[in-house]
Amino acid sequence: MAFSHSTHTTARGFTYSYVHISPQLPNTQYLLFLHGFPSTSYHWRHQISFFEAKGYGVIAPDLLGFGETSRPTELEMYKGEDMATDIVEILTSEGVEMVVGVAHDWGCFLLSRLANYHPEHFSAYAYIDHGYMPPGRSLTAAAVQHINKSVEEKLGFSILGYFLLFDEEDAPKLLNEHSDSVESLYFTADEEITKKYKGALGGLRSWLTEGRTVQLPYLTSEDHKHYEDAFSKEKGGYGAAINWYRSSLRNINEEDERKIATAAHALTRPTLLIASTNVITAAMNIPEQMRPFVPDLTVEQVAGGHWLQLEKPDEHVIDVCDADLDLDRVHRREAAHYPVCSDSHAHTPMILEWEIRNSTDIYRIRNVSDRAGTAGSEHP
């Protein structure tokens, strides 16, 4: 399931590789897919195929430091404002004025900055297993240590110990020498392994140096081949990509984000959060963190791990994205036309769709399944 890639060289001199599929129907929306770590645009292939078949347009870049896109090693190149500008340049080069932004993992950080700096290009947002990240709330080293301590006191385990490894001098070498172990730990849905080797301080280093691996039943042999190539030593391994972590740990965006107007901190478009039951993100209670900044928020809970778009693409993520963010209906509408959504039902595996009640223009959730949803189980 391979897609041809286009390229664009930005004003900063970086060449981005991206999937570009034009809409097949008039007045049809584009979707912008932003991946995380360790990933590339390839991991959106199920969603790209689904929406392409329905006639929608797609832009799905390999983000800076990943895949076939430029891989600068200088930390300053990974500022949120600059990378957001890179993405807007790609949209402009393709004549794309408006998109629905769909993001996962570190892509959620980039979608957040796009929402702050360039909201005029977005009709809706979808965050998968991570949420909107307001300006001034970077996961610095001090913040990570505080979160780990707080969660451990409440739940008996920490959740972000792995973050701190990325700021250590030997991190690139360690990851490059144990790439199979990196893939295995990052893509596992095993909660106990995740808590012991990602959440716990020092756990990631132990996992890598011991060369541990675990079975990943939802990944195919082609998935493994793509991963090996994307993070091969010949392409620079993980050296550039870990700057997404380091930029946060070292708070390089602090000065830029301080300049963002307070009014721009709020998301004024319909926003969907698809939350898994992954132990790390569940412990962070992302919906409650988002609500002060996102008045029009819908939360969908899916039983599964962090990589929902790979683990359960047909059963959940595609249906929820296609239904809750009814793309034809949000096309080119202005933020003022979106009142706060009054209903939210978490369910598994319910299919929902948005409907507009005649001229009232108020969004409600309508259940199109025979089963009733269960309210109040939102997370993470």
Determine the distance from the C-alpha atom of residue 131 to the mean position of all C-alpha atoms in its chain, rounded to a whole number.
8
Confidence of residue 148 (pLDDT cuts 50, 70, 90): very high
151 with 185, same domain: the answer is yes
* 373 part of a folded domain: no
295 with 244, same domain: the answer is no
127 with 189, same domain: the answer is no
* 376 part of a folded domain: no
Number of domains in the chain: 2
C-alpha to C-alpha distance for 319 and 310, rounded to whole angstroms: 14
Q: What is the mean pLDDT of residues 129-145?
A: 95
Residue finishing a domain among 249, 279, 302:
249
Task: State residue 26's pLDDT score.
Answer: 78
126 with 259, same domain: the answer is yes
60 with 113, same domain: the answer is yes
Smallest CA-to-CA distance from 352 within 335, 338, 365, 336 is with 365
Are 174 and 144 in contact by the 8 Å Cβ rule? The answer is no
Question: What are the pLDDT digits (tens) for 358-371?
Answer: 222 222 222 222 22
* 310 part of a folded domain: yes
Tell whether the model's pLDDT for residue 38 goes beyond 50.
Answer: yes
Containing structural domain, residue 150: 141-249
Task: State residue 245's pLDDT score.
Answer: 99
36 with 109, same domain: the answer is yes
Tell whether the model's pLDDT for residue 356 goes beyond 70.
Answer: no
| Neighbouring C-beta atoms of residue 264, cutoff 10 Å | 14
147 with 116, same domain: the answer is no
356 forms beta bridges with 363
Smallest CA-to-CA distance from 52 within 97, 1, 107, 111 is with 1
Q: What is the mean pLDDT of residues 38-45?
A: 98
284 with 181, same domain: the answer is no
Q: What is the mean pLDDT of residues 251-258?
A: 98
63 with 75, same domain: the answer is yes
Residue finishing a domain among 249, 281, 296:
249
Tell whether the model's pLDDT for residue 37 goes beyond 70.
Answer: yes
Pairing of strands 15-21, 57-61: antiparallel
| Neighbouring C-beta atoms of residue 11, cutoff 10 Å | 9
Going from the C-alpha of 280 to that of each of 130, 176, 183, 271, the distances in angstroms are 10, 24, 17, 22
* 380 part of a folded domain: no
316 with 184, same domain: the answer is no
229 with 293, same domain: the answer is no
* 110 part of a folded domain: yes
* 162 part of a folded domain: yes
Tell whether the model's pLDDT for residue 352 goes beyond 50.
Answer: no
First to last CA, the chain: 31
Pairing of strands 30-34, 297-301: unpaired
303 with 356, same domain: the answer is yes
Q: What is the mean pLDDT of residues 220-249?
A: 97
* 124 part of a folded domain: yes
What is the pTM assigned to this prediction? 0.86
C-alpha to C-alpha distance for 287 and 375, rounded to whole angstroms: 14
Query: What CATH code is carried by the domain that includes residue 122?
Result: 3.40.50.1820
C-alpha to C-alpha distance for 194 and 186, rounded to whole angstroms: 8
| Neighbouring C-beta atoms of residue 344, cutoff 10 Å | 17
C-alpha to C-alpha distance for 182 and 135, rounded to whole angstroms: 29
* 201 part of a folded domain: yes
168 forms beta bridges with none
Confidence of residue 315 (pLDDT cuts 50, 70, 90): low
Smallest CA-to-CA distance from 209 within 178, 243, 250 is with 178
Residue finishing a domain among 249, 267, 282:
249
How many Å is the maximal CA-CA distance in the chain? 62
Q: Phi and psi at residue 275, in whole multiples of 5°?
A: -105, 135
Confidence of residue 281 (pLDDT cuts 50, 70, 90): confident
